A and B are shown apart, each in its own frame.
Chain A
Amino acid sequence: MKKSLATLGVLAAAALALSGCTDSAAPPAASPGASGDAEPTEMTTVRVAALPIAETGALWAAMEEGIFEEHGLEIEVVPAQGGANAIPALLSGDIQFAIGQPFGPIRADQQDLGVVIVGNYANSNAEGDDVNAVVALGDSGITRPADLAGKKVSVNTIGAAGDLTIRKAVQDDGGDPSSIEFVEVIFPDVPAQLEAGTMDAAWAPDPFRGIVLGAGGVSVVQPYQATIPGLTVLTSITTQALLDEDPELVAAYAEAMAEALEWAASNEEAVRAAIATNLEIPEEAAAGITLPTFTWDLADAGIEELGDLAVEFAYIEAAPDYETMIQQQ
């Protein structure tokens, strides 16, 4: 008796819940893009790993716009958790492309894993507001890069472009880069951890940089802009194996991405709207995010400079073989 009552209760609750139910994953009723009369061409599904961050907005927006469909590609975005997993997943063949920091391929090159940068994705901004910065609390007494010497500074992953460029910026400002103590704090935790005193300064992108600055914090240095102006934030990565086996697919992807990124660069509103929907953040927050410079062109990506800097600070033993590592498609 008791049991059947309980069952009834659960059923009633379920009925009640379902009657007012929504579906956040439902596809939008009609695509607002120009994809309208798609020819019945054969679509190739391509799995692309991308981080669930604001920069991915360009990809989401371009997909909605139907740019990839025009190139016969159906993109399936695999939300990668941190860049570290993307390279093993590429090597496993489960995904064909990844959008990730250039430091992954640089490290992979040291082990000859056959990971290739086939194109750019987004450069940091060579002037004005950059996409990330080292921030500190207003009363921390840290105002310039040299002040970071002997302090605790957080980055999201130690041993990549963040701490490397911070070291360089501190050195250029006359500080001792070896005296900085780096700690790993994921970006969303930065505002809370700064206030809690876990670290003295933090490297963070928007919206987390904005939260700290809005609460009276100071922007100490924009390490990318200060050391390698316009250094690439994210690149498009694949494997040598795919390049050899299916050059047509890589070429189609390259062509589509080049067009998508060019479109995204001149359609900021669409990108911001895609960020707001996909990251489920308020429109105002998406509007305040500093966007990078979207481009497929690797010419000004600064990867060689980053590699050389990595050798200078002994992050890697020898300069990567840029010829095999970077193959602009």
Chain B
Amino acid sequence: MRTDVTTGGHDEVAQQTQTATDAGRFRRGRRTRSARKIALGVAGIVGFLVTWQLLPTLGIVDPRYFPTATETLAQLGEDVRDLEFWRNVGRTLTKWGLGLLIATVLATVLGTIIGLVPFLRRATHTTVEFLRPIPSVALIPLAVLLFGYQIQSALLIIVYASFWQVFIQVLYGVADVDAVARDTARSFGLSRGSRVVNLVFPTALPYLMTGLRLAAAVALILAITAEMFIGNPGLGREIVFAQSAGNWPAVYALVIVTGVLGLIINLVFRAIERRTLSWHQSVRGEDVL
């Protein structure tokens, strides 16, 4: 992710025109490539499902505790027609969204301030390195003690875990401002605010987007973990309920749902990243190569 943004502005312009003129030539190649990509993707999924189906059928794992793919998908088909299932998806995604939002805002503001002031960076470094590796799940007893089974207890766990993903990225992103560009801005007499907007922000944006994508995945994992171990309503709690009732197809159907949610979230954030950073070398590079 560490790409040099500010050097070689001419190259960028050159590349941009290159991309434009080559667009037609590339379109056809890109189409067959994406067709192959889809075919490979489908083959992968089919292979996975066939392997899954065979494992319990051939008795490699006990079919009583590991349902076949068809059995699980049938259960999933029943699930998606149940309103309560969608409410649970909503509950999980609400926690995820709120947690991610709080974490991102906090991390961006704090990361920018601390990253811009060398004194603060030095003063917080040790504390950050101490707090960062603490697994969020270890805070569950504390969260329950503070908020009981309310949504806040889940949010505490989610925000704690996803905060660091964004914070560290912003911290490095803010520090990555090119020295020449910074001096240029200063000699042109740009105000502090203008420097943040025109220099720091574009430099830190790719870092922020990476942090955001990582945090989005982490927030989903922690939302489901919180539901499983605290007992907030949502998909995680449903998994534990199905498990304690010994209803294995229901367990695996929900596990698939959480996986699909993760997949969708990752796709969405990749798309957002690509769109907001369309001007950036790292994204344009992908297109040309």
Contact = CB atoms under 8 A, between A and B. Distances in A.
A49 interface: yes
Nearest to B248: A188
Contacts of A211: 246
Contact of B147 (A22, A80, A81, A92): A92
A313 B235 CA distance: 40
A49 B245 CA distance: 18
Contacts of A91: 145
Given A53-B244, A281-B247, A92 B145 contact: yes
A186 B243 CA distance: 10
A319 interface: no
A21 B146 CA distance: 38
A251 interface: no
Interface string B143-172: 011111110000000000000000000000
A69 to B, nearest CB: 23
Main secondary structure of the interface of B (DSSP, over half): helix
B210 to A, nearest CB: 26
B243 A188 contact: yes
Interface in A293-310: none
A265 interface: no
Given A79-B231, A192-B65, A280-B247, A93 B148 contact: yes
A229 interface: no
B144 A49 contact: no
A92 B146 contact: yes
Interface stretch (B78-86, B93-101, B117-125): B78-86
Contacts of B65: 191-192
Interface residues on B, range: 20 to 34
B150 A94 contact: yes
B279 interface: no
A245 interface: no
Given A81-B240, A88-B141, A92-B146, A280 B245 contact: yes
A212 to B, nearest CB: 12
Interface string B238-254: 00111111110010000
Contacts of B87: 25
A94 B143 CA distance: 12
Nearest to B87: A25
A82 to B, nearest CB: 8
A207 B246 contact: yes
B81 A89 contact: no
B245 A281 contact: yes
B228 to A, nearest CB: 7
B109 to A, nearest CB: 29
A211 B64 CA distance: 11
Which of B82, B228, B250 lies at the interface centre, i.e. has the most chain A CB atoms within 10 A of its CB?
A: B82
Given A85-B230, A88-B145, A188 B244 contact: yes
Contact of B241 (A21, A79, A88): A79
B144 A89 contact: yes
A186 B242 CA distance: 13
B213 interface: no
The 4 closest A-B pairs by CB, nearest first: A94-B148, A25-B84, A23-B83, A88-B145
Interface of B: 62, 64-65, 80-85, 87, 140-141, 144-150, 228-231, 237, 240-247, 250
